[in-house]
Amino acid sequence: MSNQSSYTLDELAALTGAAVHGNGDIFVKEVATINHAKSDQITFLANPLYRKHLATTQAGAVILSPTDVAACPTNALISPNPYATYAHIAQLLAPPNTYTVVGIHPTAIIAKTATIAESASIGAYVVIGDNAVIENDVIIGAGSVIGAECSIGAQTLLHPNVTLYARVKLGQHIIIHSGAIIGSDGFGFANERGRWIKVPQVGAVIIGDEVEIGANTTIDRGALGDTIIEENVKIDNQVQIAHNVSIGAHTVIAGFVGIAGSTRVGRYCMIGGATCLSGHIEVCDKVVISGMAMITSSITQPGFYSSGTGFDNNARWKKNAARFKRLDELARRVHQLERVITQMTEKSLEKAE
């Protein structure tokens, strides 16, 4: 988080490794979009769709790539990755949280056996269970519930109304947004003569450093082993991760994704919104899956994967959907025709000889 309200361009360049073009002594105090920024704000240009706004921007400075410097009418920070540089600067200039007063709010309910660092901030109506451990500079927003034997690593932020069931282990520098539920029971039931019997979920959830979890996302505890989210994973809002799932480091998961139980996702993967992954499969490292895909079997080679059909006007889509049902029949007929043609060709060649 920022320790000051504004920075000079020279200071920002030193902190991010960017190069200054123009006046490095000017101060900026906020970030803004390229077409709405003012003289005390900094913006960025990463998507070529917004290059048309560069010539008329009123920003005090623009973060951009070397190829765009000549067209920039104002000061600039030059970076080979403008969006990443913007992300670092936005963190520095972001306004502080309004619920970061150090200490324990008088309405909080804390178990006597819980251990809480003096530098932690515990908001109103927070409940912390037996033997929980809250480390240095942790912020827990109002109304959150921390179950028994949970541990929360240093400088982790829980926004209001986050729930951690028992035995959840959080690393350092994690952000969890409101409404997220970590450690709820996985969907485990055994059928006996038509009746469903609950299978106790006795595992835990272990989350590595620098993970971010979006609002109303749910991560189930393991049935026997643990559900594991490795370091630097970024998970969007309203994602469902089932029991015993493992997510590799540096993977990003967009909103409305559902991952069924015991599936393993590798490192450096990107999973598009509304994608569904079946249970008990593996996705190797460096896989990109486009939105609304249905992954029903393991992916063993890195690459870009998609499924489903694209949208179309309704009348044509209905016709194509009806024809899609006949693909197997058509494939069989084509195969038969190929065999007939092959036989006819062979007979023709025999006669020619």
For residue 52, give the CATH number of its domain: 3.40.1390.10
- On whether residue 56 sits in a domain, the answer given is yes
Q: Is residue 98 part of a domain?
A: no
Distance CA 191, CA 264 (A): 26
Residue 79 in domain: yes
Q: Let me know whether 67 and 122 are in one domain.
A: no
As a whole-number percent, the residues of the chain with pLDDT over 90 amount to 88
In a domain, 2, yes or no: no
Of 134, 140, 164, the closest CA to residue 152 belongs to 134
Write down the catalytic residue from 21, 159, 177, 243. 243
The verdict on 111 and 238 lying in the same domain is yes
Predicted confidence (pLDDT) per residue in 273-304, tens digit: 999 999 999 999 999 999 999 999 999 999 99
Same domain, residue pair 286 and 324: no
Q: Residue 4: which pLDDT band, with cuts at 50, 70 and 90? A: low
253, amino acid identity? I
- 61-80: pLDDT as tens digits: 999 999 999 999 999 999 99
What lies within 8 Å, CB to CB, of 336 at 6+ separation is none
3 falls in which pLDDT band (50, 70, 90)? low
Look up 88 and say whether it is catalytic: no
Range of the domain at 17: 7-93
Q: Which of 238, 245, 240 is nearest to 265 (CA)?
A: 245
Which of 37, 60, 93 is a domain's end point? 93
User: What's the pLDDT score for residue 206?
Assistant: 98
**Predicted confidence band of residue 7 (pLDDT cuts 50, 70, 90):** very high
Q: Are residues 238 and 144 in the same domain?
A: yes
pLDDT for 311 beyond 50:
yes
d(CA 296, CA 279): 8
Same domain membership, residue 127 and residue 216? yes
Tell me the CATH number at 140: 2.160.10.10
Rg of the chain over Cα atoms, rounded to whole angstroms, equals 27
Residues 18 and 163 in one domain: no
Do both 83 and 115 map to the same domain?
Answer: no
For residues 79 and 85, the answer to whether their CB atoms sit within 8 Å is yes
Give the number of other Cβ atoms within 10 Å of residue 222's Cβ: 24
Using alpha carbons only, give the angle 223, 251, 65 rounded to the nearest 5 degrees: 165
Number of domains in the chain: 3
Contact, 143 vs 159, CB < 8 A?
no
User: Quick one: what percent of the chain has pLDDT higher than 70?
Assistant: 98
Residue 14 lies in a domain: yes
Boundary residue ending a domain (61, 93, 125): 93
DSSP, residue by residue, 102-128: SEE-TT-EE-TT-EE-TT-EE-TT-EE
Q: Is residue 170 part of a domain?
A: yes
